Amino acid sequence: HGIPQPYADKGDPYPKRCRCTAAQIAQALGLKEDEWAISFQSRFGKQEWVKPYTDKLLEQWAQSGVESVQIVSPAFSADCLETLEELAEENKETFLQAGGKHYAYIPALNTRPDHIQLMAELVTPHLKAYWQNMPYYSEGMTIREYR
C-alpha cells in the first residue's frame, strides 16, 4: 500500500513503519540485503506517492535480468481487492511482460486458525478497556451481554 508523499513529508509514520517492519521480517527470514526490497503501490491521482512504486520496481528488475520474485504484503492481515487484483494479478502481468519468468504472490494469513487466535489475543484487551468505559457497563459484564 502507499500514501501520498506530502503526507509522509508532514510526518505520517506509515512509510517508516513499513520499512521497519519489512527489515525485521527480512532479518527473521535470514535474507541478505540484496535478497529483498520494499515498495509501495495503489497510487492514484497526479501527486507523487511514497516510492519506490511496486510496478516500476518489478519492471526494472525484470529488465535487468531478475527472473523470479515472491511478493508479500505484511500490511494486510487478510486479502482484499488490492492484494488479489493489484498484487496477485496486475503486478504479475507487469513483471512477466517486462521479461520476468516466475512471479509468486504469497497470500495474507486470512482465516488461518493461528492468525485468528493471534488477532483475538491482540484485540481483546483493547475491547475490554473500550467497553468498560461505555455507559451502562457493569463489572463482570461480557462484551456480548453489553450489546
The answer to whether the CB of 101 falls within 8 A of the CB of 67 is: yes
Three-state SS at 24: helix
Counting every residue written for the chain, the total comes to 147
Domains of the chain: 5-110 (3.40.50.1400), 111-147 (no CATH)
pTM score of the predicted model: 0.79
pLDDT in tens, 6-64: 999 999 999 999 999 999 999 999 999 999 999 999 888 889 999 999 999 999 999 99
